[in-house]
Structure 1
Amino acid sequence: MTMVGPENADQARLLRMLRDDGPRSRVELADALGLARARFGAEVDRLAAQGLVETAGPAASRGGRRSSLLRIAEQVRFGAVVVGEGRLDVALTDGELRVLARHGEPIDVRVGPEAVVGRAVELLAKLRVEAGLARLAGIGVALPAPVAVRDGAPASSPALPGWHRFPVRDTVAAELGCPVQVDNDANLMALGEHHAGTGRAFNDFLYVKLGDAVGCGLVLDGALYRGATSGAGHIAHLQLTEDGPLCVCGNTGCVEAYCGDAALVRQAVAAARAGRSAALGDRLAAAGALTMADVAGAATDGDPIAQTLVRDAARRLGQVLVNLVSFANPAIVIIGGAAPGIGPVLLAEIRGVVYRRSTPLATDSMPIVLSDLDDRAALIGAARLISDQVFAAC
């Protein structure tokens, strides 16, 4: 049985309802779609013939003849790929975008797109075989760089040296024989939040992604906003100061040069070598290098220098958010990607700056919270991205 996709807008709406809300009764679905029972039954039969929906048992009785539950068919599986900062993650989800299986491993993006994309294809193929699937319904890919979404390829970025315009979408599609979509990781984290996280309750929010690469995803009026050329939300290289630290992009004083993980680690190494932090010095002496986990660990253990580094970065990020909040007026700001343990310190500093400097109209009822999806946001968002295409009317 070959999955093709919905033939009309009613079938597309039905599939998206089942994806977003889970199994529902035929009666509820027909009412929600505004379709006569006979028309609804015909549309369901066509989707079932394609292997896209199936019966999931009887629905709760509403009096009279009991209706049956419908759900996305069990054979509908989406693939998700997240190329991260030193790590590659792949996953399979069901039609409701729940992660069923995943694999992650360290990877160096500097080896080039052919090797990294090739490895992602291998891992997806392995998960597909283990699940007993002949074909995936589609695959979403998240990259830590600006992406020309129409082309399915990354744009020039310091985070992915040598990847400029590499045809990620077309390469994966040719290897695995299914639809593929590619986007920036912050965008897909925002989509993941909108589908399964705190953002599910909001139609307008900002998702701020921390890490080596800093980014922002915007959900406005219930949809991901990319801008005219997929460039919206790329806040990493906004200039905070003219005489600040040199950034990987070649400019000075960028957000990422102050707030990215690599920036905090460089400052921590300098503090350790200068003897200003015994805790960081001990960690550096023991391992020969520091990581963001070391900085976070020292901060949560009470080291004042590590805490100051985190607070300074958070205050600068708060300065950026003051402008973003004033411009976009989101209902909530969600922050993801923070190193374990430092979330409360980050939030306290960011909230202090944003609530103090933003207009009351923009922030009176606007919470600033940490993501509750951990590292699943991008995987779920990647599956959501491709499901939007697969569950669209042909």
Structure 2
Amino acid sequence: MAELGATSIDVAASDLAGNLSHCHEEPADVTSGPDVVLSRVAELFDEILAQIPPGTNVWGIGLGLPGPVEFETSTPVSPPIMPGWDGYDVRGFFGSRFQVPVWVDNDVNVMALGELRGGTATGHRDFVFVKVGTGIGAGLVSRGELHRGAQGCAGDIGHAAVGTSDVLCRCGQHGCLEALAGGYALARDGLGLARAGTSALLSQALSDGREVSAQTVIWAAQHGDPAARELVVASARLLGESLARLVNFFNPSLILIGGGVASAGDMYLAEVRQSVIARSLPLATRSLQIARSPLGDRAGLRGAAFMVVDELLSPERLAAADVAAS
């Protein structure tokens, strides 16, 4: 299994029950292109295969990508932060190398599936998983099933317009939620504070030669820097306002928030909750729970495993196997 983020690669092996082993994480840059990134993933898969007992059957490969994916073909479609990936044959890349079936989905969808099948969302038939990392996306579960939409891009809330802002998003549009509240936005605005001397801790970090990233801004906010804290709280407020629209429309019983920005903790979650409640119908929030994803970075890997299991055991695939056997 593999989950690719904008700046990282996570890989693991899994049994058919979703139990992970041989987990490995390392930095990566998705903008390096599919040949570079997927070749590294293939190398990591080879390393895992060399460590598992000889004769172990490998039944399939599951991957999560940080952009829209047409699930039927496992093909990325115009991913805003993934230059060179549009239309790339990810399934063919791995299928030809490992000779097993391959399934690919959006990273937030596999995270939602991981929480649904083996996490806090177990038992919830209608819930939303939100990843706030470099970008922002949502995985939707309706009536106990992952809702991908007609072309696989359901839940792409990061590119919904927020107010009338003229901030340019990496997708080419102006005023997207991601451009104002995602990890990329926190890093950009935090660097601005550091250079202007508005944030003492961020200015010191810059003077010390440290990168002013989203995590640096969160660190400064958690250590009492008022300007950094306002950036984090403003991000949470915008996310909450956007989620309120989803709550009124979709009426979930649970919202789980994951991704690096969610590591800001209680100050972030409290502002999200307050914004959602303030802008949602009372009936929609009567029993709504909003919490941080306890599975964290492992949710996507577990979800990718469950995706493979579900597809291997799908009625269509089993029926085809019966026909072939007869």
Q: Please report the TM-score for the alignment, with normalisation by the length of structure 2.
A: 0.94
The change in CA–CA distance for 1:133 and 1:141 in structure 2 (over 3 A counts) is farther
Residues in 2 aligned to 1:272 and 1:103: alpha-carbon distance in whole angstroms: 33
Structure 2 equivalent of residue 121 of structure 1: 42
Contact 1:193/1:199 (8 A) holds in 2: yes
Structure 1 equivalent of residue 51 of structure 2: 130
The alignment of Structure 1 onto Structure 2 pairs a total of residues equal to: 315
1:31-69: CA deviation from partner (whole Å, max 9, x where unpaired):
xxxxxxxxxxxxxxxxxxxxxxxxxxxxxxxxxxxxxxx
| TM-fit CA distance, 1:88 | 1.1
Structure 2 equivalent of residue 363 of structure 1: 285
Structure 1 equivalent of residue 133 of structure 2: 211
Residues in 2 aligned to 1:86 and 1:180: alpha-carbon distance in whole angstroms: 23
What are structure 1's unaligned runs of at least 5 residues? 1-79
Q: Which of these residues, 182, 188, 202, is aligned with residue 280 of structure 1? A: 202
Structure 2 equivalent of residue 198 of structure 1: 120
Structure 1 equivalent of residue 321 of structure 2: none
Asked if 1:82 is matched to 2:3, the reply is yes
| TM-fit CA distance, 1:133 | 4.3
Structure 2 equivalent of residue 182 of structure 1: 104
Matches within 5 A, 1:144-159: 144-159=66-81
Structure 2 equivalent of residue 320 of structure 1: 242
The change in CA–CA distance for 1:191 and 1:340 in structure 2 (over 3 A counts) is closer
Deviates most, 333-342 or 244-253? 333-342
What are structure 2's unaligned runs of at least 5 residues? 319-326
1:234-257: CA deviation from partner (whole Å, max 9, x where unpaired):
111100123331111111110001
Residues in 1 aligned to 2:277 and 2:134: alpha-carbon distance in whole angstroms: 26
Structure 1 equivalent of residue 324 of structure 2: none
Residues in 1 aligned to 2:166 and 2:231: alpha-carbon distance in whole angstroms: 15
Structure of higher CA gyration radius: 1
Contact 1:296/1:340 (8 A) holds in 2: no
Contact 1:241/1:252 (8 A) holds in 2: no
Contact 1:300/1:341 (8 A) holds in 2: no
Matches within 5 A, 1:313-352: 313-339=235-261, 341-352=263-274
Structure 2 equivalent of residue 297 of structure 1: 219
1:291-338: CA deviation from partner (whole Å, max 9, x where unpaired):
112111101101111110001111111110110000110011111114
The change in CA–CA distance for 1:341 and 1:217 in structure 2 (over 3 A counts) is closer
Matches within 5 A, 1:186-265: 186-265=108-187
Contact 1:82/1:379 (8 A) holds in 2: yes
1:152-198: CA deviation from partner (whole Å, max 9, x where unpaired):
11111221111111000121111111111000001110001101111
Residues in 2 aligned to 1:139 and 1:244: alpha-carbon distance in whole angstroms: 41
Amino acid at match of 1:111: S
| TM-fit CA distance, 1:214 | 0.6
Residues in 2 aligned to 1:145 and 1:372: alpha-carbon distance in whole angstroms: 23
Residues in 2 aligned to 1:113 and 1:271: alpha-carbon distance in whole angstroms: 34
Residues in 2 aligned to 1:338 and 1:289: alpha-carbon distance in whole angstroms: 16
| TM-fit CA distance, 1:340 | 6.6
| Helix, strand or coil at the partner of 1:246 | coil
**Superposition RMSD on alpha carbons, in Å?**
1.3
Residues in 1 aligned to 2:16 and 2:27: alpha-carbon distance in whole angstroms: 28
Amino acid at match of 1:370: R
1:116-155: CA deviation from partner (whole Å, max 9, x where unpaired):
1122112112212210244411111000000011111111
Identity %: 41
| Helix, strand or coil at the partner of 1:247 | coil
Structure 1 equivalent of residue 26 of structure 2: 105
| Helix, strand or coil at the partner of 2:10 | strand
1:226-278: CA deviation from partner (whole Å, max 9, x where unpaired):
11111211111100123331111111110001111010111111111111111
Q: Which of these residues, 54, 62, 68, is aligned with residue 140 of structure 1? A: 62
Matches within 5 A, 1:29-44: none
| TM-fit CA distance, 1:344 | 0.6
Contact 2:190/2:213 (8 A) holds in 1: no
Deviates most, 313-322 or 340-349? 340-349
Contact 1:158/1:248 (8 A) holds in 2: yes
Residues in 1 aligned to 2:227 and 2:147: alpha-carbon distance in whole angstroms: 38
Residues in 2 aligned to 1:288 and 1:92: alpha-carbon distance in whole angstroms: 34
| Runs of 4+ deviating beyond 4 Å | none
| Helix, strand or coil at the partner of 1:195 | helix
